[in-house]
Amino acid sequence: MIAIPTRFARTALLVSILAGLSATAHAHGDIDQVEDLQAHISDYEAEVSSMSETVDGIVADYESGDAVADRVDALVETWEEVEYHEAVETHAMALYPPIWIALGGLREAVEEQDAKAQVVQWQQRLDQALHQGIGALKLAAVQQKNGMNASAATHQNAADEDDDRPTITIIQDNLQTVLHHYEDGDAEAAETLLHQTYMQRFEGIEGDLIERDADLVTDLEKDFNATLPLLMEKEASANELSAEIEKMNSKLDRAQTLLDEAAQDQSSVF
């Protein structure tokens, strides 16, 4: 059985892969549903609200000792049938696997009669993933409403892709922004940026670091994918989150030193 933080890390990693898959799916034009997101946001919210209430009931009855496996299976069927499912699959693919993983985790925990606390943890993950999906769809709806054509999309993308700062600096700055989002009560934005930073920045520099301190790499991977997300999930105080980010910053400072050393040892191309 995988420990909870590891499962959480798996979710984050899967998200990175499926972000790519999403691009491919759209590229081929295989998925062309849900043309007017804005008109359906309230429907999606209602569906998510209904599923959340269903899970509340399931978990409450599980805590009372009732058999609930069939109801979890029915919940999975509901998820497969709602419009929200199609919208997430089409417009917010990065949030698609965490929902499935949370549903799978909930089902497995119930079937294996895990402790109530574990079932509740999966409930929280599911609830979080469902609501993150709503957040992503709202953003997608705004973009859809603005009628972003290729030129506009290109321009918007350019704003955040070419960044001359050292990668470690970008990561540390992003972590500060994660903290600001969290302090402002926007945990969704905080977690999304944290995941993006791991996937798009940290994974790109881990190669040289592995040679010099593999334990540091696995430690930081745990911070990105388990420690910080779990703090946010359990609604820890901003001070607690800030303290963990400070610890990460120290590790990242060491990573920068190691990367500087690696750069000195690096051979030239020609």
For position 39 contacting other proteins by CB under 8 A, the verdict is no
By beta-carbon proximity to other proteins, the closer residue of 29 and 65 is 29
Q: Which parts of 114-153 interact with other proteins (CB under 8 A)? A: 149-151, 153
Long-range contacts of 258-267 (CB under 8 A, 24+ apart): 258/208, 258/209, 258/212, 258/213, 258/216, 259/168, 259/205, 259/208, 259/209, 261/212, 262/208, 262/209, 262/211, 262/212
For residue 140, what are its two tokens?
A: 């997608």
Q: How many Cα atoms occupy the beta-carbon half-sphere of 173 within 13 Å?
A: 8
Query: What does the alpha-carbon distance between residue 38 and residue 148 come to, in Å, rounded to a whole number?
Result: 14
In sequence order, the 6+-apart residues with CB closer than 8 A to the CB of 216 are 209, 251, 254, 255, 258
By beta-carbon proximity to other proteins, the closer residue of 11 and 132 is 11
Q: Which parts of 75-104 interact with other proteins (CB under 8 A)? A: 97, 100-101, 104
CB of 89 to other proteins, least distance (A): 10
- Choose the stretch contacting other proteins; rule: CB under 8 A; options: 131-139, 210-218, 227-235, 245-253: 210-218
- Choose the stretch contacting other proteins; rule: CB under 8 A; options: 19-27, 43-51, 120-128, 246-254: 19-27
For position 108 contacting other proteins by CB under 8 A, the verdict is yes
Q: Which parts of 226-245 interact with other proteins (CB under 8 A)? A: none
Residue 29 identity: G
Residue 195 identity: H
Query: Of residues 19, 170, 236, 238, which one binds other proteins by CB under 8 A?
Result: 19
Query: Of residues 90, 121, 132, 167, which one binds other proteins by CB under 8 A?
Result: 167
The phi and psi torsions of 266 (rounded to 5 degrees) equal: -70, 140
Q: Enumerate binding residues for other proteins (CB under 8 A).
A: 2, 6, 9-11, 13-14, 16-28, 97, 100-101, 104, 108, 149-151, 153-154, 157-158, 161-162, 167, 200, 204-208, 210-214, 217-218, 221-222, 225, 266-270
